Amino acid sequence: MMVVRELWREAARFPAALALSTALLVLVFFTHLAQAVAIAWAMSAVLGGHPHDVFAALALIAGTALARTLLSLAQTSAATGLGGRVRQALRRRAMAAALVPERLHDPAARAGAMRAGLGDGVDGTDAYVSKYIPAVAQVFLACPAVVAALLLLSPAAGLCAAAGIVLALLGPMAWKRMMARRGLDHWDSYEALSADLLENLRGMATLRALGDVPGTRHRLDTRSEALRRATERVMRVSLAETAVIDLAVQGGIVAAAAAALGHALTGQAPSVETYLILLLASEAFRPIRDLSRHWHAGFLGLTAVPGLAQLGAFTPERATAPDEPAAAPAGAAPRGAAPSGRAEALRVSELSFRYPGAPDDVLRGLSLTARRGSLTAIVGESGAGKSTLFDLLLGFLTPSAGRIMLDGRPVRADDIAVVSQRPVLFAGTIRDNLTLAGAPTEAEITAACRAAGILDDIHSLPRRFDTEVAEAGTNLSGGQRQRLALARALLAHRPVLLVDEPTSALDAARAAEVVTTLHRVARDRIVIMITHRPETLAGVAHVLRLDAGQLQRSAP
């Protein structure tokens, strides 16, 4: 028997479903016992020449078979419900822990690995929860009852069965550690293959351009081979466990049968009792055989448990609002404060930040003020800390010192909209993508798209706003994606708009249009723009130069 504590705790969160599926399983088992009694009765009636008893026994056999069918159906349904609820709870908690801004900066977080955990990892726990746990409960409830009955009928047979059961339960624990280690290896290999596959699929164009498709195939083959070896190692251990259990079960049955026959030969027991002892000796091991079967079927899925624990699937959820970022900026106001409206000034004071494990601060005592009315631009060399500053403003990172205030109060996550350098569009229609943050009216959608310079493009499409956007927006040009993201940000009606390299994917004419749009938008919002292109700075009065984490020049 193998105990995976995390999954027992999860199953115990649904006590009614767990109790029902266990109780039904035990009832199914008792139909087997009733059948054994009926068979023994029938055999003794046949040998004793009592035809009436034979018919009664046959009726009992048929009745138990029917009852077992119905109870088994109910048990399967209850167990499936239990497994489904545990999987849902695990997936919800894992998603709540995984889909947070902190993961943006977690160098160990790989999308493919996370997908494997959230998908196959969570599903892999089902066999253990829905089948193995009730089967363990069945062992502890049913086996003692059968052993007690055997002890009454034949103490020697009862003792043999008890010894076999104990051996079958404790034997596999001898290599528990090895199983855990191999299980971990297996899941690591699976996660690595999933992560590589996803990354390579996404980067196929680059790999092709670099002429590395054969190399990629070779690397994936190697990963796949590693997974095959890890799976075989795991299955070998699992099969060894099955072999030990089978040995204990068969040994126990043979010993109990020998004891029963000994009784019969020495004339200590009438024939009906001998039949019954023989049948019960076999039935005593039925729960153990069930346990072994379910373990073997679900064991590969269990290898995901450490990965799920790392993902946070077993950690109680934090009480956060659905759209609240996990890390609000230092001094952030609690949710439920006044909703965002128009704001005059965003003030950053003495802001410092260092990435975990990095030797130096990326930003050191940085102060700046951005006001509504005119565009604020931040320029600086690559690596100067511009994106880090944005992530601090957005609450994706928590500053080590300093404050970010909007009109004299701590800034909140819902004060800020952002258009990133590589905006993310989701599968769905253009309208779906524009209305992610709320339910704007048609007039608002049209106005935002016009302001972002994307309206004409949308109108030129056959299905206009109902045009499907492919995954990651691959059926739109880079500039269209960026302008769509700008329209989406405008529709969020936030008092602060952060724009990262808004013209990087645009030709000169389009870039000029977008900058004009931003100047216009800046009349009623605080707009901060990161830019590398000098031409986008034309007409920008407030240019801040970031150099190695410090501002070199700050306009008032």
Ligand X SMILES: Nc1ncnc2c1ncn2[C@@H]1O[C@H](COP(=O)(O)OP(=O)(O)OP(=O)(O)O)[C@@H](O)[C@H]1O
Task: Give me the residues that bind ligand X (CB under 6 A), please.
Answer: 105, 355, 358, 362, 380, 382-388
Query: Which residues are registered as beta bridge partners of 500?
Result: 530
Assigned token pair, 226: 């590693």
Give least dist CB 213 to ligand X, A: 29
Question: What is residue 267's three-state secondary structure?
Answer: coil
In the bound complex, what is the minimum distance in angstroms from residue 381's beta carbon to ligand X? 7
Q: What share of the chain is helix, strand, coil (3-state, %, to 5)?
A: 65, 10, 25
Nearer to ligand X, 287 or 549 (CB): 549
Q: Is the dihedral of CA 503, 509, 513, 518 positive or negative?
A: positive
Beta carbon nearer to ligand X, 384 or 526: 384
CB of 547 to ligand X, least distance (A): 10
Strands 376-380 and 542-547: parallel
* Cβ closest to ligand X, residue 287 vs residue 385: 385
Judged by beta carbon, residue 22 or residue 531, the one nearer ligand X is 531
Q: Which is nearer to ligand X, 103 or 409 (CB)?
A: 103
Shortest reach from residue 111's CB to ligand X, in Å: 16
Measured CA angle at 384 (ends 381, 388), to 5 deg: 130
DSSP label at residue 385: S
- In the complex, the smallest distance separating the C-beta of residue 235 from ligand X, rounded to whole angstroms, is 39
* Measured distance CA(387)–CA(408) in Å, rounded: 24
Measured from the CB atom, the residue of 263 and 386 that comes closer to ligand X is 386
Which tokens hold the place of 278?
Answer: 């023989």
- Token look-up 């419900």 returns 81
CA nearest 167: which of 252, 74, 283, 242? Answer: 252
**Closest to ligand X by CB, 340 or 482:** 482
Helix (H) or strand (E) holding 374: none
Q: How far is the CB of 348 from ligand X (least distance, A)?
A: 15
Is residue 300 within 8 Å of residue 186, measured between CB atoms? yes
Contacts of 264 (CB under 8 A, 6+ apart): 271, 274
Tokens, residue 339: 């909703």
Output the smallest distance, CB 386 to ligand X, in A. Answer: 4
- Taking the C-alpha atoms of residue 370 and residue 530, their distance in angstroms, rounded to an integer, is 13
Helix axes 508-521, 442-452, angle to 10 degrees: 130
- The residue (of 21 and 388) whose beta carbon lies closer to ligand X is 388
Contact 311, 114 (CB under 8 A): yes
∠ CA 140-144-147, nearest 5°, is 145
CB 441 within 8 A of CB 491: no
* Closest distance of CB 400 from ligand X, Å: 14
Nearer Cβ to ligand X (266/382): 382
Q: Is the CB of 414 or the CB of 501 nearer to ligand X? A: 501
Nearer to ligand X, 382 or 460 (CB): 382
Least Å from the CB of residue 376 to ligand X: 16
Q: How far is 278 from 258, CA to CA, in rounded Å?
A: 9
Distances (CA, A) of 227 to 38, 208, 255, 367: 50, 25, 42, 51
**CB of 78 vs ligand X, minimal distance in Å:** 47
CB 405, min distance to ligand X, A: 22
DSSP letter at 418? E
Q: Which H helix or E strand runs over 440?
A: none
Nearest approach, Cβ of 504 to ligand X (angstroms)?
10
> Which lies closer to ligand X via its Cβ, residue 140 or residue 355?
355
Structure tokens at 515: 């900058």
Rounded CA-CA distance 387/403 in Å is 17
Burial of 132 (0-12, 13-18, 19+ CB in 10 A): buried
Distance of closest approach, residue 394 Cβ to ligand X, in angstroms: 13
Cα separation, 399 vs 409, whole angstroms: 17
SS3 266: coil
DSSP 333: P
Question: CB-wise, 313 or 418, nearer to ligand X?
Answer: 418
